[in-house]
Structure 1
Amino acid sequence: MEFIELILINKLDGVILKYPHQENVDGTVCITGHHLILSSRKEGVHELWLLHKNIDSIEKKENKPSSGATQGGSLFLKCKDLRIFQLDIGSTNELHLVAQTLENLSSLQDPNLFYPFFYRHMHPIVENGYTLYSIEGEFTKVLATEEWRISRVNHNYTVCSSYGKAVVVPKNIDDETIAAAATFRQGGRFPVLSYRHNNGAVLMRAGQPLYGPKHRRCRPDEAILNAVVALGTKGIIYDLRSSNSISQQQSKGGGTESNSNYSQWKIYNRSMDDVDNQQQLLDNYSKLIEACNDREISSDKWLSKLESCGWPESVRNSLHTACIVAQHIHQKAEPVLLHGTRGEDATLLVCSLVQIILNPDCRTIRGLQALVEREWVQAGHPFGARHRCGPHGAGAARAAPTFLLFLDCVRQFLEQFPCSFEYRQAFLITLFEHSYASQFGTFLCDTEQERESRGVYEQTTSIWSWLNQPDELPRHINPLYDPTPTVIWPSVAPMSFVIWEELYLRWLVEQHTEEREEQYRVIRSREQQLRAQAQQLRRELMDLARQYYAPAKRDPICDK
C-alpha cells in the first residue's frame, strides 16, 4: 500500500491553528505520509510538526449553515501527549478531506509503515541502543554466582512468543524442564529471573499457572521454583489478582498455584485488578484526563473528582505492593515470584518498582534505561498492543496506559526523594511521549520476535542511542543528584500522592484567567499541606515501628 492512496488532500492554505497559550496561527497545512505540518508566513512563528501516530482522536464540527450553505468548520485533534489542537478550515469539502486523510494515516496498523522506518538520524550514532543492554551484560554479577545461567531454549521463540531469545534461569534446571514448564504457564511465560538482591534473595516473574478446574499439576514448574528456595526456608508467591479474578480464570483453564503442590512456597493474593484489567485502567486514565481538562469545575470539586477517578489509587496500590514485595526480599531474604494473568502488565510494573526501591543503579539514567529495556521491552509488554486494540476511530479497545502508570509511580519517588535520582522529570516525560509516538524504534511492536521479524533492529534507531548523546543527555540530569546507596521506602499514605501536573496539566497551567490561577494556588497550597502531614505521619510511624518491633524482634512484613 502506498501513502498516496490514503492522502486525499496534501496541501491547504488559509488554515487557522488554535492552541492553548499561543496566538492563533494563519498558515498552510501540508500532509505527508507521517506528519501534519502547519507553517505560517509570519516570521518568528515555529512550524507545527505533528506525527499522525500521535493523534488519538479526530472530531469534526461544521459551522452552522449561512444563507442555506455550510461554511467550513473545525477539526479538533486530541493527541496522545495530551495536547488538543483546533484547525479552522473555510471549506466544508476540504474539512472532510483533511479529516478523512488524518483518520486514514493515524489508524495505520502495520509497524513497517510507521515513521521510525523512514527516519534517518542526522548525527553519528556513538552507541547502538539495541545492543547496549544485553542479558549477558545486565546479569554479569548474577551469572558469576554459579547459581544461575542463561538459557537459549527460546532462541526461535517457540517456547514463549513474548519472551526474548535469552532468559536467566536456575543453573541446575535443564532446557527440557523449562520447555515443559512453559506449557503450564499462560502464554508460555515460565518463571524467569528478574532481579537478584545483594543478600542473595531473588525476584522472579511468570504468567499464571494453567491450573484449571481439574487441578492440573506440573512438576517441571515446581522444580524451577523449588530450585531457588534454600533448605529449611520458604519462598513467597504473590498472585496480583483478587480471589474473584482467580476464580474467573480457573473456569477458563487458569488459576493460581496450590499449597499442596508448592509446599515450599507461601501463596498470597495482592489484588491489582485495577492494573491487570486493561479496560479499567484505561477508564481511570480517561477520567483523570477529563478532570484535568475541566475548566469550569471549582478547586474543591476538582480535587474530589481527581481522587474518585481511580488513578491515584492505582498509583498508591502499585507502590504499596512493591514495598511489600521489597520487604520480603530485603528484610527476610525470601525469594519472591510475581504473576497476574498474562504477566505483561501489573507483574512488570511491580517488578520494576521493586528494583527502584532496592537497587540504587535503577535511579541512574542508564540504570532506568536498562530497567525499561529489560522489564518492559524485552519482557514482552505490548507497547504496540495490536493484539489488544485496533484503530481508535474504529471503536476498538485502546492500549492500557500501564507504562505511563509506572512512570507516574517513579514521579512519586522523585517527589519524595528529590536528590536520590540522577534523572529529572523531563526524562520521564520524554519516555512517555516516545512510548506512544516516536521517530525511534525502541517501543515499536509487542515482542522481540516481532521486532526481529520486521527488521526493527537493523532499519530503525534506538531511543537510547539518541538520549545518550553528549548534547542531549545533560537535559535530563538532575543537578541535585546525590546518590543514595541504600534501599529507599516511599510513603504510600493517601496524602503523599502528588498529581503529576508537569505532565497532565502542562498544556493547561498557563491559562491566564483569575479563576484558573486561583484554582492552582489552592491546589498547590493543599498539596504542600498534605505533603507536610505525610512527612510527619511517616516519622511517627517509623518511631512506632521501632518501639513495636525492636524489643520482640517481630516480623514487620504484612502477610495480608
Structure 2
Amino acid sequence: MFSVKPTKPTFRSYLPPVQTDVKKTIESPPKKVEPKLLQAGEIVVNEVNFVRKCLSADSSQEGLWGKLICTNFKVSFIPTDPPSEQKSHLSHLLLGLHDIPLTCLEQVVTVNDTKGKKKVLGSNQKLKFNPTELILYCKDLRIIRFCFVEAGPESAKKVCLAIAHYSHPADLPLLFGFEYQGRRYHDSKGQRVNDRGGLRTPIFDRPSDWDREIKRTGASEWRVCSINENYAISPSLPEHIVVPVSLADQDLKQNSIYFMNQRIPVWCWNHPNGSALVRMASIADPLQQRRIDQRFIPAITKSHPQRSEVIRSDLDKCLPNIQDLQSAFIKIRHICVIDSFEESEERWLSSIENTRWLEYVRAFLKHSAEMVYLLDGKNTSVILQEEEDRDLNCVVSSLVQLMLDPHYRSLVGFQSLVQKEWVMAGHRFLDRCNHLKKNDKDESPLFMLFLDCVWQVMNQYPAAFEFTETYLTVLSDSMWIPLFSTFLFNSPKQRAQYLMDFAKNKAIPQGEDQLVYFPPVWDWSQQYSTADQTLFNNPMFVGKGAACVQNGEVKTFRRTKKTYSATVRGTHASLRNGQKGGEDSLARRGSLLSELKPDFSLVKDESPSERFFRDWFSRPADQQSLLIPLLIPSHLALWKLYFLRWVPEACIFKGGPITAYHKLSQLVDEIEILQSHLRQYKGTRESGSTQLPGLSGPFSSQRRMYFKASSLQDPPSPPDFLTSSFPFTPSGNLCRRSTYGTPISKFLNGARIWLSTETLDNDP
C-alpha cells in the first residue's frame, strides 16, 4: 500500500532567499510585429510567429527571433527586437533588409530534423511532415534559414507551402509587378510631368532613338527601317531596325524567310573609319546561303567608305553554348556559397578554376577583342552570326561596343547599350532567368556572364568607367525584382502583347505610353534614394573635360569628335568616311611607320593581329578611347563583390577595394567643394560683395560622392561599418561554421598542444 500522505521535504537551503521585484517579474506584453507592405496591391498570404532566423550552421546558436510572412510579392522576416540601424548597406525603397522577392527564390527546402526528412517544395505540392526548418536558396546567391522549433507546426507548414506556391506562378501576369504597376499608375496619375517620366536612357522603341544613334556614330550609309512594324516580319526583332541604305524594303521582306525566326542582318554600331558591326541569325536553308550572300554582303560592303571586305564570325562554332555556361555557373555558385569553406579552402582556387567559369569569361573577352581588331585594326565590317541571334550575339556585340566606344562606358550609355543589344534585340530574359520555373533546360546566366566580363575590363581600367561594381551588382539583383519591364519578357513583341492586355485589365487609357504604366529598371529612383545612388558614381572616372596637369599647368582634356586610339590600320589616319584630309605633319603615335621603341621591335613572322595588339599594349591606355583587356590568367579574377558578398567567412572587416573607394570619394568631394568655393568667391568679387562663401547652399545637396570629405575631427581610419562586402551585408545570411582559422593555424595550434603534452610527459 502506498501512503497518500505527502512526504516532508528534507532539503534545506543555506542561501538567503533571492529578493525579487514583483513588478519586474511580470512580463511585458510582446511587441506587435507588423509587416511593411507596399501600398500598391501587396497583401499578406500567410504568416507564422516565434520563428528564429539562423545566423550560423549550428542550430543551437542564437539567431534573430520574429515573424515570418509570405506576401504576394516577397518573403519577409520581421525581427521582434530589430538591431539598431546603422548605415552599413544599401537601403532598398521597396524591400527591407530581411526581404526576398518571390522571383528571387531558386529552391524552397523544408527539413524535419527529428525524422531526418527533407523535401524541395514546388507549386501545389503536399507536405506530409511538420517542418522544423525552412531553407531558402536565392538566385542572388543568398542562403536563408529559419527554425520553427517554437512555432506552431501547422502554421509553419502553411507558410512553407504558401512560399513554394507563390514562388512558382502559373503565368506571367500573375507576377506581382502587374498588380503593383497597375495600382501605382492610378495612384500617381497626377504626379507625372511628361510622357516618359524624365527618363534619360533611350529605349529604342521609336525611330527617333535609332536616328540619334546613327548620327552619333556617323553611320551615314545606314537607315532606320520600319518593315517590322506590328512585328509583321519577325516576332523577336524590334519594330524599328537599321539596315543598309542600298537595300530596299521589298528585298528585306523577300529574303527574311531564309533566316531563322526571320532575323535578317541588322546594324549595331559604326566605327569612325566606316566599318560596321552587324548581327544576324543563321540561314535556315543552307542551300540559300549563296543567294543571301549575294544580296546582303554587297549592301554592307557599299556602306563602307572604302568598300572594305565583310567578315562573318559564327559564334556557335567558337564559343561555349548556353548549357555549358549554366553548368559552370552552378558549379562556381556551389563552391562560393554552398560548400563549406573549412573543408574546401585548401583546394579552393583550383576548384574555382575547375568550374570553367573564368575560362568562359576569358573566351568571350578574347573573341570580342578579335572582333575589335577586325573593326579597328583591319578596317573591315563584321557580321556576328548565331543560330537564333538572341544569346551569344548579345554578349559579344555589347562587349565589342564597350571596348570601342567610350560612350557606352558612361552610366546612361551603358544602360542604352543593354537596352539596345539585349532588351530590344529579343534576349529571352523570361526563359533564361526562369522566372516562371517551368523549364530548367532554358535557364542560362548569359546576362550575368556579360556583367562579369564588364567587371573584368573595369577591374583593369577603373578610370574608364563612370559607374562602379556596386552598380553592376545592383543591376544583376534587379533581374529578380518583378516590378520592371526590362527583365520580364522574351521579346519586344511579347512585351507589347502582355502590356496591351495589362492596360485593358487595369483601365489604362488607350494610347498611353507603356513606359509610363510599366516602367523599365533604368529609373533608379524607384528603388534607391538619391543619396544611395551616389554609390554608382566612380570617383576615378576620367570623362570628357577631365582635368590633368602638364608641366605644372592644369589643362583640360577634351576628346575630339570621332577620335579613337591610333593603331595599325590599313588606311591613312586622315582618311575618314571616304574623304582624305590634309597630310599628317607627324607620324601617327604608336604606328609601326614611326620610330619604335627597342622593347617593341618587330617580331619575325608576326601576324597583323599580333602586331595590332602588341602596338596597342606598348602605349599607355587612353581611358576615353579603345580599351583592350589583358587576357592572361593572372589578369582575370573572381568577381568577389558579387560571388562572396553574402559569405560571412569571406568578409574582410575594414578591408577590400571599398577602403580605396572611401578615400578617393572623400578626396573628390573635397576637390568639388573647393571648386564650388572658388566659383562662389569669383562671383562675390565680381559683384563687389565682401561676404565669403560657405558650404551651405544648393551645392551641399548636390554632392556626387557617397562618402563626403572628412573634417579634422573625423578619425583617420575607415568607418566601422566598412567591409569588403559593402554596401551589402552578410549579416542575416547563413554562416556555415562558427570557428575561423586556416589549416596552418590549426596545425600550429595542434603543434602547441602536442609540444605541451610531450613536455609534461618528459618532465622529471
Q: TM-score range by the shorter chain?
A: 0.7 to 0.9
The answer as to 2:636 corresponding to 1:505 is no
Name the amino acid aligned to 1:514: Y
Q: 1:163-242 alignment to 2 at 5 Å? A: 163-212=237-286, 217-218=291-292, 219-222=294-297, 224-228=299-303, 233-242=308-317
User: How far has the Cα of 1:23 moved from its partner?
Assistant: 6.6
Paired residue secondary structure (1:436): coil
Q: Given the alignment, which residue of 198, 210, 213 partners 1:127?
A: 198
The answer as to 2:376 corresponding to 1:330 is yes
Who is 2:624 aligned against? 485
User: How far has the Cα of 1:226 moved from its partner?
Assistant: 4.5
User: How far has the Cα of 1:382 moved from its partner?
Assistant: 0.7
The answer as to 2:214 corresponding to 1:142 is yes
Distance 1:233 1:8, change over 3 A: closer
Given that residues 207 and 342 in structure 1 are in contact (C-alpha distance below 8 angstroms), is that contact kept between their aligned partners in structure 2? Answer: yes
The answer as to 2:245 corresponding to 1:159 is no
Name the amino acid aligned to 1:240: L
* TM-score normalised to structure 2 length: 0.58
User: How far has the Cα of 1:462 moved from its partner?
Assistant: 2.0
Which runs of no fewer than 5 residues in structure 1 stay unpaired?
1-6, 243-270, 520-560
Name the amino acid aligned to 2:258: F
The whole-number CA distance in structure 2 between the counterparts of 1:384 and 1:471 is 32
Q: Given the alignment, which residue of 155, 162, 176 partners 1:101?
A: 162
Name the amino acid aligned to 1:198: P
The whole-number CA distance in structure 1 between the counterparts of 2:541 and 2:742 is 33
Given that residues 278 and 382 in structure 2 are in contact (C-alpha distance below 8 angstroms), is that contact kept between their aligned partners in structure 1? Answer: yes
The answer as to 2:466 corresponding to 1:410 is no
Distance 1:428 1:507, change over 3 A: same
Given that residues 19 and 84 in structure 1 are in contact (C-alpha distance below 8 angstroms), is that contact kept between their aligned partners in structure 2? Answer: no
- Give the CA RMSD over aligned residues: 3.0
The whole-number CA distance in structure 2 between the counterparts of 1:419 and 1:516 is 35
User: How far has the Cα of 1:53 moved from its partner?
Assistant: 0.7
Between the two proteins, the alignment pairs up a number of residues equal to: 478
Q: 1:57-96 alignment to 2 at 5 Å? A: 57-65=107-115, 72-90=131-149, 91-96=152-157
Name the amino acid aligned to 1:375: E
Name the amino acid aligned to 1:426: T
User: How far has the Cα of 1:404 moved from its partner?
Assistant: 0.3
User: How far has the Cα of 1:290 moved from its partner?
Assistant: 0.9
Given that residues 199 and 523 in structure 2 are in contact (C-alpha distance below 8 angstroms), is that contact kept between their aligned partners in structure 1? Answer: yes
Name the amino acid aligned to 1:85: I
Who is 1:318 aligned against? 364
Who is 1:28 aligned against? 67
Q: 1:131-530 alignment to 2 at 5 Å? A: 136-140=208-212, 142-143=214-215, 145-212=219-286, 217-218=291-292, 219-222=294-297, 224-228=299-303, 233-242=308-317, 271-272=318-319, 274=320, 277-293=321-337, 294=339, 295-385=341-431, 391-392=436-437, 396-455=440-499, 457-466=515-524, 470-471=530-531, 473-483=533-543, 484-508=623-647, 509-510=650-651, 513-515=739-741
Percent identity at matched positions?
24
Paired residue secondary structure (1:10): strand
* TM-score normalised to structure 1 length: 0.78
User: How far has the Cα of 1:137 moved from its partner?
Assistant: 2.9
The whole-number CA distance in structure 1 between the counterparts of 2:267 and 2:331 is 36
Who is 1:10 aligned against? 46
Paired residue secondary structure (2:106): strand
Deviations 1:137-195 (A, max 9, x none): 35426256541110010011121111111011111211111122321211111100001
Which runs of no fewer than 5 residues in structure 2 stay unpaired?
1-42, 85-95, 117-127, 500-513, 544-622, 652-734, 746-764
Who is 1:540 aligned against? none
User: How far has the Cα of 1:32 moved from its partner?
Assistant: 1.4
Name the amino acid aligned to 1:75: L
Which is greater in Rg?
A: 2
Distance 1:104 1:338, change over 3 A: same
Given that residues 8 and 101 in structure 1 are in contact (C-alpha distance below 8 angstroms), is that contact kept between their aligned partners in structure 2? Answer: no
Deviations 1:236-265 (A, max 9, x none): 1000122xxxxxxxxxxxxxxxxxxxxxxx
Given that residues 130 and 154 in structure 2 are in contact (C-alpha distance below 8 angstroms), is that contact kept between their aligned partners in structure 1? Answer: no
Given that residues 77 and 86 in structure 1 are in contact (C-alpha distance below 8 angstroms), is that contact kept between their aligned partners in structure 2? Answer: yes
Who is 2:93 aligned against? none
Given that residues 219 and 274 in structure 2 are in contact (C-alpha distance below 8 angstroms), is that contact kept between their aligned partners in structure 1? Answer: no
The whole-number CA distance in structure 1 between the counterparts of 2:108 and 2:324 is 23
